[in-house]
């Protein structure tokens, strides 16, 4: 079985051909990073226009890499939720067009569920049931994943997503977009203990929720002081590279502590409730962060030894947006979950 998966939820145009055994025959990601860099963030209208330019070449190249022709496909899958409306529409329209032309079934992919499924594709292990943690530019959420098509939201961010905080703090520090990799790089030379930024909600262990807005504001106040209408980037421009590195490292450490702490709390809660969930799967762009990966791995080692706890973090290339994780469509194919051709996009509403 060959499924073409299409991903255009935000600013990457991606496609992949995956098999029933989750082998990746071919894949491609066309990043729009350079297009959005000068704006310091994704401009939705420009993103959808870039998808329009990229979608056909990306699908063509993916099929070429896979060494198959369109008639060899058994289904076409596309991420239709959540994401930017204009971006989602380009992928969905391409998928529908292929389905009509090839007379193949259409499969809907939930982008967040796919981020978790990246662990399954990468490690080919039986990851379900598991707790899923998605940390991306738009989401920071914990899920109870009973099976590949049975996800229940436990809780998410009450304000900004972790990646959004990375991007906004990077802009304040005058570091380039996307902020996550820039902060990670700057932090390498910094002291993570130099400044003590807040770790919101960690003192509420029973609450599966995140908050990064206050942390972001704490960095702003650190740069310009409270209540001052000054551009933090102007203030940051007067700092030495070492000072910037120390702020980046201290901020990164605070985000990492929140993510690791909340993941650990969620796992402990499952243990207390005896749900039998001993696996934690993590995906999303922020999960590519090397400090996060190291601390999460370190934290899990004790639990792994004591009670067979398993941790899977998607490999960095499958953390940031890609179409390989759309292999979750294989599960929907098996379950006979196909979509009508009037399928719509659901930018905010997570439907399936």
Residue numbers at the binding site for ligand KG4 (CB under 6 A): 10, 136-138, 163, 166-167, 178-181, 184, 284-286, 288-289, 320-321
305 backbone dihedrals φ, ψ, rounded to 5°? -70, -45
81 is in the binding site of which of ligand KG4, Zn ion, none (Cβ under 5 to 8 A by kind)? Answer: none
Task: Find the shortest distance in angstroms from Cβ 86 to ligand KG4.
Answer: 15
Alpha carbon distance 15, 32 (integer Å): 14
3-class secondary-structure state, position 39:
coil
Task: Find the shortest distance in angstroms from Cβ 289 to Zn ion.
Answer: 14
Task: Find the shortest distance in angstroms from Cβ 163 to ligand KG4.
Answer: 3
Task: Find the shortest distance in angstroms from Cβ 115 to Zn ion.
Answer: 6
Instruction: Please identify which residue in 136, 141, 270, 322 interacts with Zn ion, judged by CB under 5 A.
Output: 136
- 221, β-bridge pairs: none
Alpha carbon distance 340, 233 (integer Å): 49
3-class secondary-structure state, position 326:
helix
Q: Which is nearer to ligand KG4, 136 or 270 (CB)?
A: 136
Q: Which is nearer to ligand KG4, 105 or 178 (CB)?
A: 178
Q: Which is nearer to ligand KG4, 86 or 138 (CB)?
A: 138
Alpha carbon distance 239, 252 (integer Å): 18
Task: Find the shortest distance in angstroms from Cβ 152 to ligand KG4.
Answer: 20
DSSP 211-263: --HHHHHHHHHHHH-TT----HHHHHHTS-HHHHHHHHHHHHHHHHHHHHHHH
Q: Which is nearer to Zn ion, 105 or 285 (CB)?
A: 285
- Cis-peptide, bond into residue 209, ω within 30° of zero: no
Give the strand pairing for 279-283 and 75-81. unpaired
Q: Which is nearer to ligand KG4, 251 or 333 (CB)?
A: 251
Task: Find the shortest distance in angstroms from Cβ 121 to ligand KG4.
Answer: 15
Q: Which is nearer to ligand KG4, 136 or 265 (CB)?
A: 136
331 is in the binding site of which of ligand KG4, Zn ion, none (Cβ under 5 to 8 A by kind)? Answer: none
Q: How far is CA 90 from CA 17, 19, 35, 135, 246, in A?
A: 18, 24, 17, 24, 41
157 is in the binding site of which of Zn ion, ligand KG4, none (Cβ under 5 to 8 A by kind)? Answer: none
Task: Find the shortest distance in angstroms from Cβ 300 to ligand KG4.
Answer: 19
Q: Which of 124, 346, 118 is nearest to 133 (CA)?
A: 118
Q: Which is nearer to ligand KG4, 33 or 72 (CB)?
A: 33
Alpha carbon distance 208, 218 (integer Å): 22
Q: Any idea which residue has 């496609």 for tokens?
A: 15
205's tokens: 């262990």
- 3-state SS track over 67-130: CCCHHHCCEEEEEEECCCHHHHHHHHHHHHHHHHHHCCCEEEEEHHHHHHHHHHHHHCCCCCCE
Task: Find the shortest distance in angstroms from Cβ 62 to ligand KG4.
Answer: 18
Number of residues that bind Zn ion (CB under 5 A): 2
286 is in the binding site of which of ligand KG4, Zn ion, none (Cβ under 5 to 8 A by kind)? Answer: ligand KG4
322 binds Zn ion (CB under 5 A): no
Q: Which is nearer to ligand KG4, 129 or 176 (CB)?
A: 176
26 is in the binding site of which of ligand KG4, Zn ion, none (Cβ under 5 to 8 A by kind)? Answer: none
148 is in the binding site of which of Zn ion, ligand KG4, none (Cβ under 5 to 8 A by kind)? Answer: none
Task: Find the shortest distance in angstroms from Cβ 321 to ligand KG4.
Answer: 4
Instruction: Please identify which residue in 11, 246, 321, 331 interacts with Zn ion, judged by CB under 5 A.
Output: 321
Q: Which is nearer to ligand KG4, 167 or 331 (CB)?
A: 167
Contact 237, 185 (CB under 8 A): no
Residues that bind Zn ion (CB under 5 A): 136, 321
């Amino acid at each position: 079985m060959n499924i073409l998966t299409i991903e255009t939820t935000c600013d990457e145009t991606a496609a992949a051909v995956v098999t029933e055994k989750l082998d990746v025959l071919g894949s491609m990601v066309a990043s729009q990073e350079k297009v959005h860099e000068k704006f310091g963030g994704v401009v939705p209208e420009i993103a959808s226009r870039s998808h329009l330019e990229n979608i056909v070449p990306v699908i063509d190249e993916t099929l070429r890499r896979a060494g198959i022709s369109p008639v060899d496909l058994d289904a076409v899958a596309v991420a239709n939720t959540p994401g930017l409306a204009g971006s989602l529409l380009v992928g969905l329209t391409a998928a529908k067009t292929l389905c009509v032309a090839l007379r193949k079934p259409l499969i809907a992919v939930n982008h967040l569920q796919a981020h978790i499924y990246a662990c399954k594709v990468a490690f080919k292990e039986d990851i379900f049931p598991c707790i899923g943690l998605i940390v991306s530019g738009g989401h920071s959420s914990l899920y109870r994943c009973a099976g590949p098509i049975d996800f229940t939201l436990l809780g998410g961010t009450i304000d900004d997503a972790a990646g959004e905080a990375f991007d906004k703090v990077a802009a304040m520090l005058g570091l380039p977009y996307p902020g996550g990799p820039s902060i990670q790089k700057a932090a390498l030379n910094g002291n993570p203990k130099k400044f003590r930024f807040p770790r919101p909600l960690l003192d509420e262990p029973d609450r599966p929720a995140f908050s990064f807005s206050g942390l972001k504001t704490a960095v702003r106040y650190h740069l310009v002081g409270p209540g001052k209408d000054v551009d933090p980037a102007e203030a940051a421009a007067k700092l030495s590279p070492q000072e910037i590195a120390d702020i980046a490292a201290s901020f990164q450490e605070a985000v990492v502590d929140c993510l690791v702490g909340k993941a650990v709390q969620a796992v402990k809660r499952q243990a207390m409730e005896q749900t039998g969930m001993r696996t934690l799967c993590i995906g999303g762009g922020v999960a590519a962060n090397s400090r996060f990966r190291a601390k999460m791995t370190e934290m899990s080692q004790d639990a792994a030894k004591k009670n067979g706890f398993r941790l899977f973090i998607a490999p960095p290339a499958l953390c940031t947006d890609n179409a390989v994780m759309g292999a979750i469509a294989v599960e929907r194919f098996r379950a006979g979950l196909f979509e009508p051709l009037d399928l719509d996009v659901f930018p905010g509403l997570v439907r399936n």
